[in-house]
Structure 1
Amino acid sequence: MIKYRVFETDNLLIYINDVTYIVKILRDCDELYKGEAYLFNGYVYPYLGVTDNIDDLVGIYKPSPEAKYHFRVPKTDKEKEEHDVDRVVELNPEKILSDMEKNSDSYVTKEYIETVSNSADVYAPPIEPGDDILKKIIKKILQEKQININNYKNKLDNKWTLTNLKAALTKKQNLSMKYFVKLLDILGADIIFTVVDNGTDKIKPLKDNISLQLGEERFNEVNADDDEF
């Protein structure tokens, strides 16, 4: 018999094999991302990425980039228990705050509860082996900041949507300099390039390091309709 639960909020988490995953309803998702797990027919399946060796892990994966999604379903009693829908934690800020106000003379502020809620929407994509250096830098910033990207909508124009932002980091193509600069600006970061002499040019080595702060330069405005990422 398939087990069902009704949730009051989209802020769902589950802890499986020492990893905390954001939980989403599979039928509501067109694309799957690492760091997220997907609820389907009473069980929660972490997305394992593109791999042909899942090491008996329960989850959803693709044997190749072009393949359809495959399921590795829980088989043992332990696996079924670990991935059961009942282990999903629902972060409902209003309910948490209401319970604290009723049962405690000292409770945290609404602002703190909102911060807890936002943590369920953290966007921190993993660094993949094929990522170029610019893409790695942006992903490292996201992993360090642990932010809810929805809070940055005020920095996005009508064309630069959250979908485009995520697509720029998940596509196989290298991240272009234009998009790199735009992402740095959205994330409130800057970068300094420093060129140093590596000691191999004995004829005319660099005497001094050359440094350039990217934020001081001017680049063409990013057009989100461009095919280039």
Structure 2
Amino acid sequence: MNVGSDTQIRQLLYGGILNSKDPNVSLPDEKTFKVPNVNKVIEEGKKASTKFCSIKLCSLGVKLPAEIYTATGWPLVNGNALKTLAGKVSAEYDFTDDTNDGDIDNSPEKMIDVDTSAYGSAFAAFEDEEKGREACHAIASLCKVCSIDTLITNFILPLQGSNISGKSGSVHCSLNINTETGRLSARRQNLQNQPALEKDRYKICQAFVAAPRNSLVVADYAQDSCTSD
């Protein structure tokens, strides 16, 4: 599954849901997608692996709540929407069964009170509380994987290109001053759009090193924009 694809995430979480703008249209309960064949799987009827392979994504079979929709009427599945479903829970969760082989405990089950206030809106969609908790932690894990995929795609891979540095070895970008807000925007490479220092968990900013006897200066222009009445 491509975690960077909103279409595939939407199919997994909301398969079977009706379109909010056209009730006569709905997402299918299952759908086949073409994804990169990174594991070199040889599909049935073929002699060798191909660049892409087919996967079938089936819906969870549970009606998850959708609070925000796209302009076309489908549930939004961006980071904020997924965090609403997951709640403020950790992506770390033990989904394994802890039963001991051969040791049978016939004592009455003890009810353990679990604080569910941190779980998101997906929790209430499941009749079984344990499945609801597992779903929230699984969606939190999906959020984490999506954020890692975004970092790799938007920040790490562009910096690995062979054309990012000039003749002097310095990294340059193209600046655009023709913006609606009057702010500068950068492209090829987008050096403005790097992770904030406090959120740079993978130390991407350490890839930028000043030349000998020079220093890098970080400036925040977040509130500096040209406006007119």
Fold conserved (TM > 0.5)?
Answer: no
User: Which of the pair has more CA radius of gyration?
Assistant: 2
**TM-score, structure 2 normalization:** 0.29
